[in-house]
């Protein structure tokens, strides 16, 4: 993993920091695992804009990722490590002995030619998927299921990892990337190792146009809106503002919006840090 700082030969490159992509082994995706990706531009089925600040951007094709890792005790060889425009992490193309190919989220240190396997009795090595009941305590894990068979939903972005802290009965205690400590059923799968592309947080886009390429439109600050548009709008000069709140009037920056009666509250041992 490495990043490159570009020479400022144009204004947009003056502060630009790009990914070195030295972990990537090919620039052509596997055709059989591509799917079309339709863009909505933030509009619903009636054509009305329901999500602001979205639209434009480069056309993409979706890479079908195997989040379930449900071919148990069946080793697969890593063929390539690839870039995926739909996520911050890199992905790995793996091939099983019968010729089936699948994409998985690549872990840090995953190498071409390495074998990965999922199951209860496999070794806890980088890229292998095991139930939480079979992983040694203290292990760094990622791509964690929340319900057995659901597929990975937690710790999937670049550089993310969680830690298996303890096991008690049918629950395991996991410290998540947000700092939250929570109980998860021990028969849920998790992958050994942290997610690849940990240098993603060091990247600097360098210019506004790069946000447009990613499909993000300019965001208007609430303080410069009119009172009709936002609770923080209005006022002469810079006298507007007031308590930070959302467009619907809910307080922001520290106000807890999580329901006190939510069913999953009993599984949270410790809330994330502010």
Q: Do 190 and 235 fall into the same domain?
A: no
The mean per-residue pLDDT over the stretch 70-99 comes to 97
* Cα 169 from chain centroid (whole Å): 30
Q: Do 184 and 234 fall into the same domain?
A: no
Which of 112, 143, 109 lies closest to 126, judged by CA? 109
What pLDDT score does 274 carry?
A: 66
CATH number at residue 28: 2.40.50.140
What's the DSSP call for residue 31?
G
Q: Do 196 and 84 fall into the same domain?
A: yes
User: How do residues 26-46 score in pLDDT, each as one tens digit?
Assistant: 999 999 999 999 999 999 999
Q: Do 52 and 140 fall into the same domain?
A: yes
Q: Do 90 and 161 fall into the same domain?
A: yes
Q: Do 110 and 231 fall into the same domain?
A: no
Q: How many domains does the chain have?
A: 2
Q: Report the run of H or E that residue 173 belongs to, with start and end.
A: strand 171-175
Q: Do 17 and 142 fall into the same domain?
A: yes
The mean per-residue pLDDT over the stretch 78-93 comes to 97
Q: Do 139 and 236 fall into the same domain?
A: no
Angle at 84 between CA 80 and CA 85, to 5 degrees: 155
The mean per-residue pLDDT over the stretch 56-60 comes to 96
Q: Report yes or no on 192 lying in a domain.
A: yes
Q: Do 70 and 156 fall into the same domain?
A: yes
Q: Do 68 and 140 fall into the same domain?
A: yes
Confidence bin at 1 (pLDDT 50/70/90): low
- In three-state form (DSSP H/G/I as H, E/B as E, the rest C), the secondary structure along 231-260 is CCCCCCCCCCCCCCECCCCCECCCCCCCCC
Do the beta carbons of residue 199 and residue 2 sit within 8 Å?
Answer: yes
Which of 152, 167, 201 is the last residue in one of the domains?
201
Q: How many whole angstroms separate alpha carbon 273 and alpha carbon 162?
A: 15
SS3 263: helix
Spell out the residues 6+ positions from residue 224 whose beta carbon is closer than 8 angstroms to its own: 233
Q: How many whole angstroms separate alpha carbon 188 and alpha carbon 268?
A: 16
Place of tokens 């990914």: 19
Q: Report yes or no on 212 lying in a domain.
A: no
What pLDDT score does 241 carry?
A: 81
The mean per-residue pLDDT over the stretch 66-93 comes to 97
Q: Do 92 and 149 fall into the same domain?
A: yes
Q: Report yes or no on 196 lying in a domain.
A: yes
Q: Report yes or no on 220 lying in a domain.
A: no
Average pLDDT over all residues of the chain: 95
What pLDDT score does 273 carry?
A: 78
Place of tokens 């990613």: 214
The mean per-residue pLDDT over the stretch 9-37 comes to 95
Confidence bin at 106 (pLDDT 50/70/90): very high
Confidence bin at 183 (pLDDT 50/70/90): very high
What pLDDT score does 2 carry?
A: 87
Q: Report yes or no on 206 lying in a domain.
A: no
- Residue-range definition of the domain harbouring residue 75: 3-201
Q: Do 163 and 234 fall into the same domain?
A: no
The mean per-residue pLDDT over the stretch 61-67 comes to 98
What pLDDT score does 149 carry?
A: 95
User: How do residues 185-214 score in pLDDT, each as one tens digit?
Assistant: 999 999 999 999 999 999 999 999 999 999
């Amino acid at each position: 993993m490495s990043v490159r700082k570009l020479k400022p030969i144009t204004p947009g490159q003056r502060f630009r920091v790009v990914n070195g992509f030295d972990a990537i082994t090919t620039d052509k995706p596997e055709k059989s695992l591509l799917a079309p990706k339709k863009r909505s531009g933030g509009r619903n089925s009636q054509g009305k804009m329901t999500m602001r600040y979205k639209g434009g951007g480069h056309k993409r094709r979706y890479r079908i990722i195997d989040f379930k890792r449900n071919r148990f005790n069946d080793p697969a060889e890593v063929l390539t490590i690839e870039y995926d425009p739909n996520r911050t992490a890199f992905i790995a193309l793996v091939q099983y002995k019968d010729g089936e190919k699948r994409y998985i989220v690549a872990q840090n240190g995953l190498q071409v030619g390495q074998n990965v396997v999922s199951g209860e009795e496999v070794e806890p090595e980088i890229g292998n998927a095991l139930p939480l009941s079979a992983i040694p305590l203290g292990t760094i894990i990622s791509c964690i299921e929340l319900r057995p068979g659901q597929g990975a939903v937690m710790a999937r972005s670049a550089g993310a990892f969680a830690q298996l802290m303890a096991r008690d009965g049918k629950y395991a205690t996991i410290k998540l990337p947000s700092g939250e400590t929570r109980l998860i059923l021990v028969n849920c799968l998790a992958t050994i190792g942290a997610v690849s592309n940990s240098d993603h947080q060091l990247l600097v886009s360098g210019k506004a146009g790069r946000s447009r390429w990613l499909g993000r439109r300019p965001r208007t600050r609430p303080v410069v809106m009119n009172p009709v548009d936002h609770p923080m709008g209005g006022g002469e000069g810079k006298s507007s503002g007031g308590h930070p709140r959302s467009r619907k009037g809910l307080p922001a920056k520290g106000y807890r919006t999580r329901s006190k009666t939510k069913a999953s509250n009993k599984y949270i041992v410790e809330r994330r840090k502010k």
